[in-house]
């Protein structure tokens, strides 16, 4: 996929089944799993009541999320953060990922005709100073391949999570 796509038939219901609750602020499918289901959705920067919602790319696949959770529990985020001060190229890539996220979130706000989030509000996942949430970084990398170096590393570490079958049962 080259960019967000409108929700198709059954996509919103699949996301609800994946996350176990009605989703909020859905705008588009940002990435599809090879099994055909959404695995990352793009959300509005503000909910219907105006509440800021800074997570633009939300990883919805429970199999991918579980695998990422295992990486987080291993201490990988601390190791990744420790590499930032010592690796100028990695730091520059991560800062570029941060800017990309902010630009895309601002564009989503404009497209949705809502007030953009305040200047200086975090982007996602701890960018650009630390690694705080691999789920957010992986969502960003899946939605915009080649953009987020730590999201890419996490994806490489978990491997093809979809090969063990769909994360939810097909519905009629």
Q: pLDDT category, 131, cuts 50, 70, 90?
A: very high
Would you state the structure tokens that stand for residue 50, as one six-digit string? Answer: 């105006």
pLDDT digits (tens, 9 = 90+) for 33-85: 999 999 999 999 999 899 999 999 999 999 999 999 999 999 999 999 999 99
In sequence order, the 6+-apart residues with CB closer than 8 A to the CB of 12 are: 23, 26
CA distance 64 to 79: 21
Q: At what angle do helices 62-73 and 134-143 cross, to 10 degrees?
A: 130
The dihedral through the CA atoms of 79, 85, 88, 91 has a sign that is: positive
Would you state the structure tokens that stand for residue 26, as one six-digit string? Answer: 């859905």
CA R_g for the chain: 16
| Domain boundary assignment for the chain | 11-163
Residue written as tokens 């499918």? 29
Query: Which residues of the chain form beta strands (DSSP E)?
Result: 26-32, 38-43, 57-59
């Amino acid at each position: 996929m080259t960019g967000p796509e409108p929700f198709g038939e059954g996509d919103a219901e699949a996301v609800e089944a994946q996350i176990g609750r009605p989703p909020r602020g859905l705008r588009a499918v940002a990435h599809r799993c090879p099994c055909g289901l959404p695995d990352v959705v793009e959300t509005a920067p503000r909910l219907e009541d105006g509440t800021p919602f800074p997570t633009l790319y939300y990883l919805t696949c429970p199999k991918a999320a579980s695998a990422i959770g295992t990486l987080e529990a291993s201490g990988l985020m601390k190791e990744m953060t420790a590499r930032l001060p010592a690796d100028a190229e990695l730091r520059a890539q991560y800062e570029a990922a941060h800017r990309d996220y902010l630009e895309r979130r601002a564009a989503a706000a404009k497209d949705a005709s809502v007030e953009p989030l305040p200047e200086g509000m975090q982007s996602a996942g701890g960018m650009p100073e630390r690694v705080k949430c691999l789920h957010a970084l992986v969502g960003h990398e899946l939605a915009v391949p080649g953009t987020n170096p730590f999201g890419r590393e996490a994806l490489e570490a978990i491997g093809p999570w979809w090969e063990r079958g769909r994360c939810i049962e097909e519905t009629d």
